[in-house]
Chain A
Amino acid sequence: MSGRRVALTGMEVLAPGGVGVKEFWQLLTDGRTATRGITFFDPAPFRSRVAAEMDFDPREHGLGPQEIRRMDRAAQFAVVAARGAVADSGLDLGRLDPYRVGVSIGTAVGATTSLDREYGVVSDGGRLELVDHAYAVPHLYDCMVPSSFAAEVARAVGAEGTSGVVSTGCTSGIDAVGHAVELIREGTADVMVAGSTDAPISPITVACFDAIKATTPRTDDPAGASRPFDLSRNGFVLGEGCAVFVLEELDGALRRGAHVYAEIAGYATRSNAYHMTGLRPDGAEMAQAVTAALDEAAIDPEEIDYVNAHGSGTRQNDRHETAAFKRSLGEHAYRTPVSSIKSMVGHSLGAIGSIEIAACALAMEHHVVPPTANLHTADPECDLDYVPLTARDRRTDTVLTVGSGFGGFQSAMVLARPDRPVRRAA
């Protein structure tokens, strides 16, 4: 099965400020931010009180009362986005061998919002150490084990091939798609419904990031709170959302006349083996992931038209990846635009990697590079072209996206036009 290539032929995005691909892309190209003061619960006791919340009513997206009761919010996102992506692809999955269709869903923290809420119930507000099983909801096990997300998606689209959840913290969204790409290339599947989802805006998640000061305390300026690469950045803004794609073997996609957004041309992941949350400033392992992804795509650094950065807006991350880009792209790092859409849609942990892949595919579709919002004051340690404030028209044929996560995971993916001249076998 060598030589099989993978096309992205369908997508759906549910993001803060942009539920649906069109709305999402409008938000990004307008350079608007979707961060706001937390409304899902009373944030007063917390240090970081801003988030990129999504206005999402599952009933408006075709979910029935039982589905809504059964599924965590992140699973609801995934099912809605999967159905949307399949519809967008124009693929009639019912005509395919269901064993050749698989599912790969990324999530960093699974159903943690449901677990937080349900723990409060069975412990009677934290009073009972021996929590009361009589108050457990029947689907609690599905919240405990987040592979339920992949099971829900598989049933929603009728996939009976290999399926599961990829959970590598904040690189889950790249790694879940990368995993799907590998399964198609090796011949295990012809079609993968792949993407990632997280709905982590809950007290336990806000508290745990407060405890390590990873999220921003800039609560008086919600719209300006996410400031990747800005000198005044001081932490990320927690977000939520989901993006799901239909990935197909390229030849099959071309034969059926599918619209191909992009080829997923290269993917790699590395570990820094350094610290569960810390990053060395040199960005060496992320650079290795970038180089490996470029090698797999048989694409030179100079061909990259746009870099979608992890750009979380922590002091450490933005310096780390700036170094990684210089290491892996050389002088070209200074010439290619680099931006962080987390400035607009926040950091939705495992979900953001797929949302960023969607942004990359749309940048290629429209030849527009989304900006980094809230970037007003350059940081001397972050000295690349981060496309401040305003989207930029630019011929965009080849794109790099990266992610960096707790646990030390560093991942990179290259998207390219399928009709590019291929120098050696991909």
Chain B
Amino acid sequence: MSTPVVVTGLGVAAPNGLGTRAFWEATLAGRGGIGPVSRFDATGYPARLAGEVPGFVAEDHLSGRLLPQTDRMTRLALAAADWALADAGVDPAERPPSDMGVVTASASGGFEFGQRELRNLWSKGGRHVSAYQSFAWFYAVNSGQVSIRHGMKGPSGVLVADQAGGLDAVAQARRLIRKGTPLIVSGAVDASLCPWGWVAQSASGRLSTAGVPERAYLPFDARAQGHVPGEGGAMLVLEDAGAARRRGATVYGEIAGYGATTDPRPGGGRPPGLRKAIELALADAGLVPAEVDVVLADAAADPGLDRAEAEAIAAVFGPRGVPVTAPKTMTGRLCSGAGPLDLGTALLALGEQLIPPTVHVEADPALALDLVTGGPRPARLRTALVLARGHGGFNSAMAVRAAAP
């Protein structure tokens, strides 16, 4: 049997709360962070709402040397990693460098940084491109910067699978711990709320063009018409369970199981892969469906994708067979940041025995989901399942189990 891997620290940068406490209070209260785009003038674009992380002052967290070489997503990731380590009670300086690593996911890299340098290139010429462009925008930057900041010299990595990638990164962190690295900082933060990122996301045809937050992002609702993009995510500290126990760490819960699949080519007669990913995650966790107490859905808010997700959940758990929720209705979809943030939400829910709600949604009865709407629902929660799907057909599922009392 493989070593259990547990989460001992959590750092959150979410549109409805900077820091774990603010985020969790807002999430239980059903308070969303979706509003009109403020970071640039979006009034000329079809989509005009976003989930922006409020109140983040990079200068409060990063040195003057780091500021010119970091995109917003890296600044948020560095702060979230700091918080996660502090939350875990871990001082990296006291540990052997090779006993620590970093695995992050990224979807679009430092897109806003890249936008500025592309503009410099196109409007002024190559000599005006920043010396930091060679790494500040690329997908590996957050793992690199976190490893440097905390002196982590063990195995590290970076995975990209659009919105599914955040769970894949945490699964890889678990793999590395099982191979012998005692502590891995993992998770993801994405942020591409700039005109160039907006246009690239809009090109997917999946953004909601609604004008008011309450109508904009309605997964599993007959009125679903696309999603609201957001920025942020979460960083987690993962440790070998035995090592965490020996140092007396507070444990949020165990990363109990994981499964991932890729959808087949459309029109080829093969079923979509989400159901299989769920089954793989449950088998990996040693769980039967009846033991899963809540599902945090991917919640694409695209009618076809919502139906596919509802069918996969019903196929595994039975019609209305498990409570389902989508707290990301309060944050928007965060690309690779979504999976780790949902893991954090799931672990906090296990701790409080409360399922946070899906806001603004009236569940489409045809989907046969027991969707948690209105307010938080008290429930006996021992295990939770987090789902994430990425554009192109990536399906990831991860089961978490409450810490042993």
Contact across chains for A141 and B131 when beta carbons are under 8 A apart:
no
Q: Does B156 contact A (CB under 8 A)?
A: yes
Contact with A along B153-177 (1 / 0, CB 8 A): 1111111111011001000100100
The stretch of A272-280, A336-344, A413-421 in contact with B is: A272-280
Contact across chains for A273 and B147 when beta carbons are under 8 A apart:
yes
Complex: A144 Cα to B196 Cα, angstroms? 10
Q: Does A175 contact B (CB under 8 A)?
A: yes
State how many residues of chain A have any CB contact under 8 Å with chain B: 85
Cβ distance B245 to chain A, nearest Cβ, rounded Å: 24
- Which of A109, A140, A204 has a CB less than 8 Å from the CB of B200? A140
Point out the residues of chain A lying under 8 angstroms from B165, CB to CB. Answer: 147, 164
Whether A115 touches B45, Cβ cut-off 8 Å, given contacts A147-B161, A204-B129, is no
Cβ distance B15 to chain A, nearest Cβ, rounded Å: 20
Q: Does A93 contact B (CB under 8 A)?
A: no
Contact across chains for B200 and A143 when beta carbons are under 8 A apart:
yes
- Which of A125, A131, A144, A167 has a CB less than 8 Å from the CB of B140? A167
Q: Does B56 contact A (CB under 8 A)?
A: no
Contact across chains for A141 and B157 when beta carbons are under 8 A apart:
no
Point out the residues of chain B lying under 8 angstroms from A166, CB to CB. Answer: 157-160
Complex: A161 Cα to B276 Cα, angstroms? 9
Contact across chains for A169 and B135 when beta carbons are under 8 A apart:
yes
Q: How large is the interface on B (under 10, 10 to 19, 20 to 34, 35 or more residues)?
A: 35 or more
Contact across chains for B138 and A165 when beta carbons are under 8 A apart:
no
Complex: A110 Cα to B138 Cα, angstroms? 9
Cβ distance A263 to chain B, nearest Cβ, rounded Å: 19
- Which of B40, B45, B273 has a CB less than 8 Å from the CB of A160? B273
Contact across chains for A204 and B45 when beta carbons are under 8 A apart:
no
Complex: A209 Cα to B134 Cα, angstroms? 6
Complex: A130 Cα to B48 Cα, angstroms? 13
Q: Does B201 contact A (CB under 8 A)?
A: yes
Contact with B along A399-426 (1 / 0, CB 8 A): 0000001111100000000000000000
Contact across chains for A288 and B117 when beta carbons are under 8 A apart:
no
Q: How many A-B residue pairs have CB under 8 A?
A: 274
Contact across chains for B119 and A129 when beta carbons are under 8 A apart:
yes
Complex: A125 Cα to B120 Cα, angstroms? 10
Whether A203 touches B121, Cβ cut-off 8 Å, given contacts A147-B392, A271-B147, A408-B147, is yes
Contact across chains for B175 and A126 when beta carbons are under 8 A apart:
no
Whether A179 touches B157, Cβ cut-off 8 Å, given contacts A207-B129, A406-B138, A408-B148, is yes
Q: Does A82 contact B (CB under 8 A)?
A: no
Whether A119 touches B262, Cβ cut-off 8 Å, given contacts A144-B108, A160-B273, A166-B158, is no
The stretch of A24-32, A148-156, A219-227, A388-396 in contact with B is: A148-156
Whether A208 touches B98, Cβ cut-off 8 Å, given contacts A143-B200, A147-B107, A147-B162, is no
Contact across chains for B129 and A122 when beta carbons are under 8 A apart:
no
Cβ distance A66 to chain B, nearest Cβ, rounded Å: 13
The stretch of A13-21, A57-65, A210-218, A313-321 in contact with B is: A210-218
Contact with B along A104-140 (1 / 0, CB 8 A): 0000111000011001101101110111110011111
Complex: A46 Cα to B127 Cα, angstroms? 8
- Which of A115, A144, A211 has a CB less than 8 Å from the CB of B131? A211
A-B contact pairs, 17 of them (CB 8 A): A99-B276, A120-B122, A123-B123, A133-B202, A141-B200, A144-B192, A145-B108, A147-B107, A147-B161, A147-B162, A164-B159, A167-B139, A210-B129, A270-B98, A270-B153, A273-B97, A276-B145
Apart from A126-B119, A126-B124, A168-B156, what 11 extra A-B contacts exist at CB < 8 Å?
Answer: A102-B262, A120-B122, A132-B199, A137-B203, A144-B107, A147-B390, A155-B265, A164-B168, A207-B121, A211-B133, A273-B152
